[in-house]
Amino acid sequence: MLGHKFTNAADACALAHAIVNTVREPIVVLDQELRVIVASRSFYSTFKVDPTVTEGRLFFDLGDGEWDIPKLRTLLEKIIPEHSTMEDYDVEHDFPSLGRRTMCLNARQVVYKGGTETTILLGIEDVTNMRALVNQKDELLRDKDILLEELRHRVANSLQIIASIIMLKAKRVSSDEARAHLEDAHNRVMSVATVQQQLHVAGVGRIEIQPYLTKLCGALAGSMIADDRAITIKVLGDGGSAPCREAESFGLIVTELVINSLKHAFTGAKKGGLITVSYDVSGGDWKLSVADDGIGRLPDGEFAQPKEGLGTGIVNALAKQLKAQVETTSGPQGTSVSITHAVFTAKKVRAA
């Protein structure tokens, strides 16, 4: 043991007793007939039993038979001899001195040289309070998720009401410029409301991005594409999920870029076309892009006609929060805006 060869069995026994008594959790040493050879001081103090009426007795006869637990008997009589060890096995039981407790059991069969005798080391840890705290934490997290979903639902409804009021005002003003500003504000408010609605549907925790963006773009198409405009929004991707906060940023970016395409890409003779939203992920890297086959109105590097436009600021700010970079390409075949995670971008640069 520990590189030391004992010539005296009494010395080895003394060391074993010292180890057992040093461990804070209750430990019982049983012989092959499941009689108590020795137990730690923590066992005697925890379960309020006396060594003189413990050692030499069958483990299941201790106290008033409080350890005669069917599950534990099965473990010690069958499972341990067959498998040699038992790890992290929970047993719930009513103990006269402690009440209802949850005990985590760990056991190991010790086979001595010659194989004629064996003993079982049984560790007993009271995990009642720890399990209760874990259950309480899980309940609090569930309550938080329910409240968060309810909050999103209320926010989405409130935003829709605000958007309706703005649209009523837009219909009543006589100034074309004021009407355009009010309609733009209406679209912004509706975009946030739509994102909140789809997050409410998707749930909390990690959000599956492709179904989320598909539902979001469906809602955008239904509310922002007039019947006389043959414009289709298509969502592509290879799956992937993201935390709720990150998914919300994705939704706001997509909404801004889709609105931008609807406003600018399909004007004049170009009344119809296709907007493609794609999300690709590889490990911790991802790329979100929105492309249209419109009139190719933008110079490379800019995705809104006025450089200081509100949409530009929103997308750039969200991309910065996501540690991503914005890249735009534009030509006769249309415009594409990509938001690429900074880690992926850095890898591309290093590889080049």
Tens of pLDDT, residue by residue over 55-73, are 888 988 887 777 888 878 8
Provide long-range contacts, Cβ within 8 A and 24+ apart, for 193-198: 193/155, 193/156, 193/159, 193/160, 193/163, 194/156, 194/219, 194/220, 194/223, 194/251, 194/255, 195/248, 195/251, 195/252, 195/255, 196/152, 196/153, 196/155, 196/156, 196/159, 197/152, 197/153, 197/156, 198/251
Is the pLDDT at 21 greater than 90? The verdict is no
- Residue 274: which of 233, 227, 329, 328 has the closest Cα? 233
Q: Report the DSSP beta bridge partners of residue 126.
A: 103
Range of 43-47, 212-216, 293-297, 324-328 with top mean pLDDT: 324-328
Distance CA 253, CA 249 (A): 6
Give per-residue pLDDT as tens, 101-150. Answer: 888 888 888 776 665 677 888 888 888 888 888 888 888 777 777 776 67
According to DSSP, residue 88 is labeled E
Q: How confident is the model at residue 287 (pLDDT cuts 50, 70, 90)?
A: very high
Strands 27-31 and 36-39: antiparallel
Task: Please state, in angstroms and as integers, the Cα–Cα distance from residue 116 to each residue in 30, 122, 154, following that order.
Answer: 15, 20, 72
- Look at residue 6 in the predicted model and tell me its pLDDT: 46
- Look at residue 16 in the predicted model and tell me its pLDDT: 65
Name the amino acid, one letter, at 117.
E
Rounded to two decimals, the pTM is: 0.51
